[in-house]
């Protein structure tokens, strides 16, 4: 089983959107028994809360489930439990790396570094911009590229 964790600042906008969209993509590819997916935030402000209304509305429009999702904070244990920890922007990557243990099993990657079709490399935070549609397009592109990487690296 390949374990993937998406990480943003508060775990209510970008990372739960990526978790839900990637889970949907993985399921459509028939790989849901081979890839597990979760999300977390580097901060603790929203722990226990559902995804942001804007994220929920966008996922509803696309028919993508976010059932049972609740914000949680990234922990040191995640570096042992996940193969890929995927940050949404450079700041998230810095925050992730600041708690990463020296013996980390996880590979830390900024999502859009995988998407060669994207000129921007940071997924903007719609909590501040309100542009959930733009974020969804970027996340979809990054998720597709991530899935291709995982399929190649794990012969799926």
Which single residue is written with the structure tokens 């890839």?
Answer: 35
Instruction: Spot the catalytic one: 24, 38, 78, 125.
Output: 125
Which single residue is written with the structure tokens 């959107």?
Answer: 17
Chain-centre distance for alpha carbon 138 = 12
Catalytic residue list contains 13: no
Distance CA 80, CA 103 (A): 9
Catalytic residue list contains 143: no
3-state secondary structure of 39: strand
Contact by Cβ (8 Å): 134, 124: yes
Distance CA 68, CA 10 (A): 17
Catalytic residue list contains 125: yes
Instruction: Spot the catalytic one: 8, 24, 72, 143.
Output: 8
Instruction: Spot the catalytic one: 14, 56, 72, 110.
Output: 14
3-state secondary structure of 49: coil
Please say whether the dihedral angle defined by the alpha carbons of residues 10, 113, 123 and 28, taken in this order, is positive or negative.
Answer: negative
Q: Which two tokens stand for residue 12?
A: 């209510």
Query: What residues are annotated to the active site?
Result: 8, 14, 125
């Amino acid at each position: 089983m390949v374990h993937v964790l998406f990480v943003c600042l508060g775990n209510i906008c970008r990372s739960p959107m990526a978790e839900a969209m990637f889970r949907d993509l993985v399921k459509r590819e028939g790989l849901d028994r081979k890839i597990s997916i979760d999300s977390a935030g580097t901060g603790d402000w929203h722990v226990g809360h559902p995804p942001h209304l804007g994220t929920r509305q966008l996922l509803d429009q696309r028919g993508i489930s976010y059932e049972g999702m609740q914000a949680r904070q990234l922990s040191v244990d995640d570096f042992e439990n996940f193969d890929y920890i995927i940050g949404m922007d450079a700041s998230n990557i810095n925050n992730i790396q600041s708690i990463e243990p020296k013996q980390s099993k996880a590979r830390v990657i900024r999502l859009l570094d995988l998407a060669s079709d994207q000129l921007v490399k940071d997924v903007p935070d719609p909590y501040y911009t309100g542009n959930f549609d733009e974020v969804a397009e970027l996340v979809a592109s990054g998720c597709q590229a991530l899935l291709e990487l995982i399929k190649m690296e794990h012969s799926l």
